[in-house]
Structure 1
Amino acid sequence: MTTSALILIGIDLAAALVLSLGLYYRRHHRRDLVVAFLGVNVGVMVVAAVLGTAEVALGLGLGLFGVLSIIRLRSSEISQREVAYYFAALAIGLVTGLPQTDPWPVAALVALILAVLWGADHPALLSRARHQVVRLDRAISDDRELRAELEERLGGTVASTTVQELDLVNDTTLVDVRYRIPRAAVRPTTSRATAATAPAMQAAAR
């Protein structure tokens, strides 16, 4: 094995650890997905290194992207954020697994992937935006009335609503709502929202 290949393996392992532990687990605390990210990354890197051609690696990458897309469509437990981490782990494994005479341009591309994920998933980015699925204890068909009710309950400005279920028999409304909270309420938003919404609705944050 050449020195360049060993350097690429080291870059891949370091990047996979930063991605899964330094970024994802530190922010979202799902141990099972740390295992998945590391497994996908190292597996793709090894297969790409063994096959050793850009054409085969490209086909492998497209195939795995397709598999992950199917997983996303068939699973409610994997969010779009986590799919992005999957794709990043896969991409890092691909670029570091291919034979390279100079590993440092690859290292720069890997660093770019990590930097983009670090910034895009930073808690300070769009920190006032919220998304919840809310069940109200009233059947509300009027859009303006629904928005007013949600804004009163959630303490924010509603950006969009999608009514998923309007039950006129049991007098309930299930609605997917995206809203923005006031700037001063960014820090205590979890406890505040729970206290305000508990008497009248069941909410599941996404």
Structure 2
Amino acid sequence: MAQVALFLSDIAAVSLLVFGVYYPRHRRRDLVVACLGVNVGVLAVASSLTAVGASTGLGLGLALFGVLSIIRLRSTELEQHEVAYYFSALALGLLGAMQTDNIWRSLGLMVLVLAVLYIGDHPRLMRRYRRQVLVLDSAVTDHTSLVARLEQTLGARVHSVSVQRVDLVNDTTVVDVRYRPLHGVRAQHGGPGTPPPRPPHPPAAAVAGRS
């Protein structure tokens, strides 16, 4: 009876993880199917192994091998937060398949996994820190000049810059930049991220007199 309760708890937990946390925030349908499939597959394999007397370590090893194979042979690039959701779905499946006398510990660990993903991937957590891959229309080899140009272009305070490619033939630079926008922050005139002032418009009478 306790095992059935763990199975149901796992289904409820992964459903909350996928449909309550992941999909409303990231809207990627293919990973919804992948997370559900990984969770149910791990739950089925691990519970079958424990039923025939195989060790939990064997089930964990097989499950990890399967998930790592999926990630390695993927056809599209996965972001780090998507890998975290993969492993969380895996962990929930393993917790639901374990035969234990202390069901509350497994339930508590499921709640812990959900809470960590909910808080760690919350849109309000470090929401002002952003990341972009930019292609500049010039080959910039000086790091100080590169940071200054990025801050002026983005209107932001650059925290980290990783140069991915400098093309001296086509005069381009590809960079991976992590920054914080300066919206709402008073910047000094001429400082990083401050656009140049617009020239004042000439009076209408002066314009008419010149024509």
Question: Normalising by the residue count of structure 1, what TM-score does the alignment of the two structures yield?
Answer: 0.82
Query: Within 5 Å, which residues of 2 pair with 1:100-111?
Result: 100-111=100-111
Q: Which residue of 2 aligns with 1:31?
A: 29
- How many aligned residue pairs are there? 182
Q: How many Å separate the matches in 2 of 1:136 and 1:46?
A: 50
Cα offset, 1:54, TM superposition: 1.6
Q: Which protein shows a greater Rg?
A: 2
Question: Normalising by the residue count of structure 2, what TM-score does the alignment of the two structures yield?
Answer: 0.80
Cα offset, 1:174, TM superposition: 1.1
Say which SS state the counterpart of residue 20 (structure 1) adopts.
helix
Does structure 2 conserve the Cα–Cα contact (< 8 Å) formed by 1:4 and 1:102? Answer: no
Query: Within 5 Å, which residues of 2 pair with 1:14-163?
Result: 14-52=12-50, 53-68=55-70, 70-71=72-73, 76-163=76-163
Q: Which residue of 2 aligns with 1:173?
A: 173
Query: Within 5 Å, which residues of 2 pair with 1:177-192?
Result: 177-182=177-182, 184=184
Q: How many Å separate the matches in 1 of 2:183 and 2:97?
A: 45
Cα offset, 1:142, TM superposition: 1.2
Query: Do the aligned partners of residues 27 and 79 (structure 1) sit closer, same or farther apart at CA in structure 2, a change above 3 Å counting?
Result: same
Structure 2 letter corresponding to 1:38: L
Say which SS state the counterpart of residue 77 (structure 2) adopts.
coil
Does structure 2 conserve the Cα–Cα contact (< 8 Å) formed by 1:161 and 1:176? Answer: yes
RMSD: 1.9
Q: Deviations over 1:132-177 (max 9, x none)?
A: 1111111111111111110011111111112122122222111111
Say which SS state the counterpart of residue 130 (structure 2) adopts.
strand
Q: How many Å separate the matches in 1 of 2:182 and 2:6?
A: 46
> For structure 1, which runs of at least 5 residues remain unmatched after alignment?
186-195, 197-206
Q: How many Å separate the matches in 2 of 1:129 and 1:55?
A: 39
Larger RCO: 1 or 2 (CA < 8 Å, sep 6+): 1
Q: When you count helix as a share of all residues, which structure comes out higher?
A: 1
Q: Deviations over 1:35-92 (max 9, x none)?
A: 0000000110111111114232232233235325524xx6552111000000000011
